[in-house]
Copies of this chain bind each other. A is one copy, B any other.
Amino acid sequence: MRNDFHAELDSLTGSLSQMCGLAGLAMERATQALLQADLVLAEQVITDHEHLTRMQLHAEEASLLLLALQAPVAGDLRVVVTSMQNVADAERMGGLALHVAKIARIRHPAPALPEEVNGYFAEMGRIAVDLGNNARDVVLSRDPEKAAQIGRDDDAMDQLHRHLFTLMMDREWGHGVAAAVNVTLLGRFYERFADHAAAIGRRVVFQVTGSTPDV
């Protein structure tokens, strides 16, 4: 019975880990679609998202079954419940990549961004991939050092996000309103992607320690 339970718990954790990696991959592709006005890649991100949503439903059902049939307590209970919460964050990360891809698609064949900000988004995309991969690893290893790295990446993302606003609020911004609207939305999507990864990192710390870090 307990062995079954732990096998199923491992399978749940494995799915969650995979979802984090897929969300990172989706943001990597969405960023490339955005920067290169690549319609095929944008469409792929949009189509692939359904898979992540299905994985979320399966993981939620599996969690409910585990709770109903095994009634776990203490650390095991924390892992089931936080995995369920993390699965929602991972799906949302993929949903934000989907939003980025949709903006790339709606502007195609024109680029969605003025060239001046491409470097910022390339860097935000790089951090997003890092966040997805670190979340993927940390839900398996529960390594506190890697969980802390997620927090640092989140800070780096916030800083880039603030820079973007400074750029747009500058009187020298010469790319007009439509570009500013895109940059505002896109910046927000990357920033939220990082927030969700950070929430996953904090819950992994909670799984291990039973208390949530402040930041």
| A residues in contact (CB < 8 Å) with B | 63-64, 67-68, 71, 73-74, 77-78, 81, 84-85, 88, 165, 168-169, 173, 176-178, 180-181, 184-185, 188
Contacts and interface: CB of A to CB of B under 8 A. Distances in A.
Copies per complex of this chain: 2
B84 A64 contact: no
Contacts of A169: 177-178, 181
Contacts of A64: 77-78, 81
A7 to B, nearest CB: 20
Contacts of A67: 67, 71, 77, 81
Contacts of A178: 168-169
Contacts of A168: 177-178, 181
Nearest to A78: B64
14 contacts: A67-B67, A67-B81, A68-B74, A81-B81, A85-B85, A168-B177, A168-B178, A168-B181, A169-B177, A169-B178, A177-B177, A180-B184, A181-B184, A188-B188
Contacts of A73: 68
A136 to B, nearest CB: 22
